[in-house]
Amino acid sequence: MKIALNNVGRRFNKEWIFKNLSAEFISGESYAILGPNGSGKSTLLSVLTGSLTPSEGEISYSNSKEIPVESIYKYISLAAPYLELIETFTLKEIIDFHFKFKNFAADVDAKKLIKILGLEKSVNKQIKYFSSGMKQRTKLALACCSDSPILFLDEPTSNLDVQGINWYRELIENFTKDKLTIIGSNQIQEYEFCDKQIQIADFK
């Protein structure tokens, strides 16, 4: 998989969030998009996922052949603070629902995913009764354990304690080897394993 940006920019009203950004993102490598809160990291991720169109420039997706932007969602998994889980679903129901649209990663099924989460005792608990850390783990596990060639993570250790951060690192190590992984972050523990970094402030 490859995502290519050619002089891409995005603005809201008359304010440029970023501009003149040219870059390539390639399978098997991991990328960190860095900047303080409010700098435009999430906006750039939304452009990369096809959720927002660039205000200028071009973005293309390819996997031996070009993929139209309206189809790129089929290749993507995403975990982000602004994506909410369905609160009335139990953990089992949210897993079953998610994997109606995605395939499991190799050697993973619903039972193993619950074990990875360490939430065997919460299988039939509604998501609305989960702590913020349990919800974040669930979002990350659903994204990382999907058989998607592109993985986007925005602020992945939000609401995770030290034990949760260690769990996140293990999840990354086990499930991102051959993926194109792109992380929006300003916390080093979230992206220290990344091969390449993009400072969004360089494109203001």
Q: DSSP letters of 30-87?
A: EEEEE--TTSSHHHHHHHHTTSS--SEEEEEEESSSEE-GGGGGGGEEEE-TTSPP-T
pLDDT value of position 118: 95
93-120 pLDDT, tens per residue? 999 999 999 999 999 999 999 999 999 9
**pTM score of the predicted model:** 0.94
| Number of domains comprising the chain | 1
pLDDT confidence tier of residue 29, bands split at 50, 70 and 90: very high
Domain of 54 in residue numbering reads as 2-203
pLDDT confidence tier of residue 204, bands split at 50, 70 and 90: confident
Residues of the chain with pLDDT > 90: what percent? 95
116-125 pLDDT, tens per residue? 999 999 999 9
Q: Determine the 3-state secondary structure of 104 from DSSP.
A: strand
pLDDT value of position 64: 86
Domain of residue 143, CATH code: 3.40.50.300
pLDDT value of position 165: 97
Average pLDDT, the chain: 96
Cα–Cα dist 149/112, whole Å: 20
Per-residue pLDDT at 5 exceeds 90: yes
Per-residue pLDDT at 52 exceeds 90: yes
Cα–Cα dist 199/115, whole Å: 36
pLDDT value of position 38: 87
